Structure 1
Amino acid sequence: MAAVSQGFKTDLLGAIPSLRAFAVSLTQNADKADDLVQETLVKAWDKHESFQPGTNLKAWLFTILRNEFYSQMRKRGREVQDSDGIMTARLAVHPAQHGQLDLKDFRGALEQLPEDQREAIILIGASGFSYEEAAEICGCAVGTIKSRVSRARTRLQEILKISGEDEYGPDAISAQVTGTAAR
């Protein structure tokens, strides 16, 4: 086995926060997300020779994470996430956000989306991947990702009963996820 380069190690460590955020969006559970990220890092480390330098390491890692998640889902079968409501109860909103998109409401709406739409909107809106990169991670066509994101945005607006841009949060992430211009 060839030695792992320092650049690879540094880039791998730098990707951990994004991997964890994506893992939490998939698993809806912080502990399971941490396990998923750890498994992803172990696989990436073991298979570092198959990574092509000069390509997108983050996309490669997200693909490993996504594949690992679906492998675990197949092994484990379906189970109810947050059945006791502990994770949902911990979500809080700063009082200054009155009248704007509430994190708890948004998270609940996000959980109502089909997995493929939730995955696409998280990759594009929250993780900052391009449509092409998201399509590569998901193993589907760019048009499919665009459709999933569009359907997810439409469904989120329906669930949250949002009728105008003034009802979104003022931050750039909210604007990107919902497809509106940041103010």
Structure 2
Amino acid sequence: MANDTFREDLIAELPNLRAFAVSLCRSPEKADDLVQDTVLKAWGNSEKFQPGTSLRAWLFTILRNTYYSLYRKRGREVQDYDGTYAQRLAVSGEQESAVAMSEFREALGKLSEEHREALILVGASGLSYEEAAEICGVAIGTVKSRVNRARVRLAELLDITGADDLGPDRRTQAVVDRSPADPVPS
């Protein structure tokens, strides 16, 4: 792969790398450091990338391996058992979406590391099960199982029992469903 093409493709993946790094580290500052380390390693080993394969999967593998070797082994993970750190990341205000996002972050944080990682790779980053399995170094069936279990556990934590529990609440739905011709109640 030519250096210019590799560089452009690498730059295009930065937002995905950062999102995955934040999901692992739970710290934007540490995520930025992790992405920087990943980019430096990828650039230094660009000749090892096999054109025709997924650059995203290759980069995610580098990022994941870097995370485990730098952070997990050294015990540098941000521990946020009580959700204090996650609350600082939440949007202030009383909007329902901010509350829902805060609840989602809290529930996501309660998942096991393996389940959260699989869900982020497949659900949020859009990687295939095969790519996620390669990144995690496990069988495809293991990734599918982890994603399924993560989704089920998130639904339990968020008290979602069916499709009716998703979307706007009754009050919001009533406003949305009201026709412009309907009189405004006084």
TM, length-normalised to structure 1: 0.83
Matched with 1:136 is 134
The separation in 2 between residues aligned to 1:134 and 1:48, in whole angstroms, is: 21
1:6-155 matches, cutoff 5 A: 6-77=4-75, 79-82=77-80, 85-92=84-91, 95=95, 97=97, 102-155=100-153
Question: Structure 2 regions of 5+ residues with no counterpart?
Answer: 169-186
Name the residue aligned to 1:175: none
- Count of residues in correspondence between the two structures: 166
Partner Cα separation in structure 1 for residue 85 and residue 73 of structure 2 = 25
Change (3 A) 1:79 1:55: closer
Paired with 1:119 and 1:22, the residues of 2 have a C-alpha distance of 8
Question: 1:76 aligns to what SS in structure 2?
Answer: coil
* 2:183 alignment counterpart: none
**1:73 Cα deviation (Å)?**
2.7
What is the alpha-carbon distance in structure 2 between the residues aligned to residue 25 and residue 53 of structure 1? 28
- Rounded to whole Å, the distance in 2 between the matches of 1:169 and 1:52 is 43
The higher radius of gyration belongs to 2
- Structure-1 separation of matches of 2:96 and 2:84: 25
- Give the aligned CA root-mean-square deviation in angstroms: 2.3
Gaps of 5+ in 1: 171-183
Structure 1 residue 164 corresponds to structure 2 residue 154 = no
Query: Which string of whole-angstrom CA distances, capped at 9 and with x for unpartnered residues, describes residues 27-73 of structure 1?
Result: 00000000000000000011111001111101000000000011113
What is the identity percentage for the equivalent residue pairs of Structure 1 and Structure 2?
Answer: 57
| 1:77 partner SS | coil
What CA deviation, in whole Å up to 9, does each residue of 1:140-161 have, x standing for no partner?
Answer: 1000000000110111011111
Distance 1:59 1:90 in 2: 27
Contact 2:130/2:140 (8 A) holds in 1:
yes
What amino acid is the match of 1:32? K
8 Å CA contact 1:124–1:130 kept in 2: the answer is: yes
Could you tell me how far apart the structure 2 residues matched to 1:131 and 1:8 are? 24
